[in-house]
Structure 1
Amino acid sequence: MPNSAMVSGKAPLVLLHGVTMSAKVWDELIPLLSPHHEVVALSALGHRGGPPPTRRPARVSDLIDAAQRMLDDLGFDRPHIAGNSIGGWMGIELARRGRASSVCALSPAGFWDAGTHGQTGGVGRLRRIAALTRITRRIQPLALESATIRRLAMRDIAIHADRLTPARALDAATDLLHCSITEDLLTTSEQIAPLNPLPCPITLAWSAHDAIVPAEVNGRIARERLPQARFEILPAVGHVPMIDNPDLVARTILASTGASIRDEPPNPIRD
């Protein structure tokens, strides 16, 4: 089910989360975006709060198909879309299908040659996070009371996870534990194909400290496959930048939709 802040008369903006997460990862962003857009955060197929998969192994294309059905159910033809990691991948593919007015892809997954280090390096880190989260399930409510443990436990996806409340950190762990298709997605052979010309404006906003799909590897491939996209580096954030700096991410998304001009823009990288 979508987690939404709906305001009549404003252009719709759909938020798509990353692998193992849920719509709740956008909770801090929705109040910042809602003055400008009708905001809907969706939980993906096979993820906590999302519809169950109808086949296994599930594929990224199944997540995209399910998201397109959700857009249909909401009556959204071509909303603005912002997505992180696999959510960014989904946004780009929805744009390819003609279902987006603009896309802001935050450190999107899928820009790799399947089976190479550009994919397997990040997958290895995500598998370690998943294994640690499962092993420590019983002690998490107590352990995550510590800001130091929150920062260390989430260091592969954020650099300031200590800023999260214990409840929000526990929510993230619970999201992972309730994702039924984690291994399906981590072993996919899918990837993002070149897209030129673009079907709509696309911003590739890459986290400067991304340990999962680093800009120097996956960002380089992204620029080759989407040469017309705007490419930016978001300073001082990790793979899930909403954790580290929701204000920066909100400004970046609103700049991509044309809803506002950022007072403090990220550092652009231009050819």
Structure 2
Amino acid sequence: MPKIGRFKSDEAREHFMHAYDTMAAQWPVSSTDIDVETSFGTTYVRRSGSGTGVPILLLPGISGNGQVWSPFIEGLCRDRVVYTPDVIGWAGRSTQTAPLHDGADMARWMVELLDGLGEERIHLAGNSMGAWISMNTAVHHSDRLASVTLFEPGGATFARPRASVLLKFLVMGIRPTPERLRKFNKWMMPGYEHTDEEFAMIVAGLKYRMGVPWERTITDDELARVAAPLLVLFGAETITNDPEIQAARVRTHIPSAEIEIQPGIGHDLLWANPEQVIPRFLDFVDTHDQART
């Protein structure tokens, strides 16, 4: 049965928000806070940067929030507006009031978010499970997207995830302790170690009951409906799924997609190789930009 995301107690929420605010205070550029009302609740969004190009909107990986983009935001918002929302149904400043049943609901949430921000079109980019949300938006509402970029798409986006990944998530979900979480993060992102402030926020987020549906593999018919320009970046050493299998499926159903498998890098693609990933992303965005009126 679909759930509504919430903290397990008021104390848990206060503990998380203290850690969240500590991270938020370290945001390296000036920004504006925005609350957008949607059918699924209130979505908190941070607006950074300025410029006349089509804005970028970034979605984090599972249970993440807008703070994860802090290491990259300065370069990303140099020439245009960048929105970094807290995904509704995950721990953050957004407040969920209605359940999200499936990918179509996630896409509907995204469109309502764009309407509330007053943006007709955006460049949408997502990391890990944020890539799955991005793809569902492209399936149902390509007309609202100037482009779509997927950073290391989640294990189920284009193919069934590996059994070992599902087992790790199951074990982590049953007994989520800080020690288990450190080991899990090291397994998922071997090239990156969280700062003390980041880890404190992640641990505090364990007391949040998520309200976002689990990934369902995008079907062939759905892939064929994607009309927005698509860039997919995989890490060759990722443990979430076989990047070659995923890439082949995308090429079959979206021949226009640009796909790269970067050697020597795993699921921590953005954090392990930002000097290549960020410029590649921005070049793609510039290529498919459309001046705002």
TM-score by length of 2: 0.71
User: Which consecutive residues of structure 1, in runs of 5 or more, have no partner in the other structure?
Assistant: 141-148, 261-271
Question: What residue in structure 2 maps to residue 41 of structure 1?
Answer: 84
C-alpha RMSD of the superposition: 2.9
How big is each residue's C-alpha offset from its partner over 1:63-92, in whole Å with a ceiling of 9 and x where there is no partner? 222122111111111111111122212222
Equivalent of 1:108 in 147, 153, 161: 153
Percent identity, aligned pairs only, is 20
Equivalent of 1:202 in 230, 238, 242: 230
Equivalent of 1:168 in 174, 177, 198: 198
CA contact (8 A) 2:148 2:229 kept: yes
Cα pair distance change 1:64/1:157, threshold 3 Å: farther
CA contact (8 A) 2:104 2:137 kept: no
CA contact (8 A) 2:226 2:254 kept: yes
Q: Partners in 2 of 1:26 and 1:220 — Cα distance?
A: 29
CA contact (8 A) 2:54 2:80 kept: yes
Cα pair distance change 1:156/1:179, threshold 3 Å: farther
Does 2:222 align with 1:191?
A: no
Shift of 1:36: 2.5
Does 2:279 align with 1:251?
A: yes
Q: Partners in 2 of 1:5 and 1:180 — Cα distance?
A: 27
CA contact (8 A) 1:45 1:53 kept: no
Cα pair distance change 1:180/1:196, threshold 3 Å: closer
Q: Identify the structure with the greater strand proportion.
A: 2
Cα pair distance change 1:128/1:198, threshold 3 Å: same
Shift of 1:6: 3.3
Q: Partners in 1 of 2:207 and 2:135 — Cα distance?
A: 27
Cα pair distance change 1:27/1:179, threshold 3 Å: farther
CA contact (8 A) 2:161 2:240 kept: no
Equivalent of 1:28 in 68, 71, 79: 71
How big is each residue's C-alpha offset from its partner over 1:174-196, in whole Å with a ceiling of 9 and x where there is no partner? 345435236x41xx545344434
CA contact (8 A) 1:111 1:221 kept: no
Q: Partners in 1 of 2:266 and 2:277 — Cα distance?
A: 12
- Please identify runs of 4+ aligned residues in structure 1 that moved more than 4 A: none
How many residues in Structure 1 have an aligned counterpart in Structure 2? 240
Shift of 1:9: 2.5
Shift of 1:101: 0.3
Cα pair distance change 1:155/1:93, threshold 3 Å: same
CA contact (8 A) 2:190 2:268 kept: no
How big is each residue's C-alpha offset from its partner over 1:221-261, in whole Å with a ceiling of 9 and x where there is no partner? 3333323211101333322423323333312321220269x
How big is each residue's C-alpha offset from its partner over 1:148-186, in whole Å with a ceiling of 9 and x where there is no partner? x95x44123212122x3221233334345435236x41x
SS of the counterpart of 2:112?
Answer: helix
User: Which consecutive residues of structure 2, in runs of 5 or more, have no partner in the other structure?
Assistant: 1-43, 289-293
Cα pair distance change 1:7/1:222, threshold 3 Å: same
Cα pair distance change 1:77/1:33, threshold 3 Å: same
Q: Partners in 1 of 2:203 and 2:104 — Cα distance?
A: 25
